[in-house]
Amino acid sequence: MKLILLGAPGSGKGTISEKLAQDFDYFHLSTGEVLRDEIKKGTKLGQEAQTYMNKGNLVPDEVVIKIVKQITLGKKDFILDGFPRTVAQAEAINDLKINLVINLELSEKEVIERISGRLTCEKCGQIFHTKYIIPKKPGICDVCGGRLIQRDDQKPAVVKERFKVYLEKTQPLIDYYHKKKLLKDVDASRKPDEVYETVKKILA
Ligand code: AMP
């Protein structure tokens, strides 16, 4: 199964992808995660990507397309999380023969509330939320004891910009995949477990 998870930032693409990867043994590729890893390692690619990511903008198409082509090469089952984000990216992977695109629907208000409340462990990357996934000790990661921070791209002004970019560049993909008869819409405003059950039923 070659699956794409489409949706605004904060719609739960990462959480759903991780669960699917575990339950179905699919390879999970999050372009955002790959880019954040490159930033951590201080590579040239990471330095270039960071200038776009900190402002809420998209990293250039050719950079992410190259990453996805390299990592998916020869793989039969995978989930793309956060890719494609533009029509040019979608066209570049036409040869991968995607089977299904799940569109996680969420309003702008919910996007902003979800992302601006997120806290990330600076050591292990585990995600918490001031309202929904509250850490046992404030500011401390339950998993590794690391410090919880708000990533630059989770600050309200940047979140607004990310949503604007989503509407402009990524939302056209809904129509694009609808026309290809690959799209299934899922209401992402419900509890994560309910959303996941709906996604699993679509895959069954
Ligand atoms: P994410 O974790 O998927 O929300 O991605 C975080 C940031 O990484 C985005 O706001 C973009 O700056 C960058 N990014 C991730 N995936 C892509 C992509 N497919 N195209 C361009 N930029 C991307």
Span 81-121, pLDDT tens digits: 999 999 999 999 999 999 999 999 999 889 888 888 999 99
Inform me whether the pLDDT recorded for 131 exceeds 90: no
- Mark whether 118 is an active-site residue: yes
69, two tokens = 């082509």
Are the C-beta atoms of residues 33 and 191 closer than 8 Å to each other? no
Q: What is the mean pLDDT of the chain?
A: 94
Q: Is the CB of 59 under 6 A from ligand 1?
A: yes
- Mark whether 190 is an active-site residue: no
User: Which atom from ligand 1 is nearest to the alpha carbon of 89?
Assistant: 19
What lies within 8 Å, CB to CB, of 138 at 6+ separation is none
Per this entry, what is the length of the chain?
204
Q: Where are the beta strands (DSSP E) in the chain?
A: 2-7, 27-30, 78-81, 100-105, 118-121, 127-129, 148-149, 183-187
Sort residue 7 into left (φ over 0), alpha (ψ -120 to 50) or beta: left
State how far the Cα of 195 lies from the Cα of 12, in Å rounded to an integer.
Answer: 9
Q: Is the CB of 32 under 6 A from ligand 1?
A: yes
The predicted-structure confidence for 13-68, as pLDDT tens digits, reads as follows 998 999 999 999 999 999 999 999 999 999 999 999 999 998 889 999 999 999 99
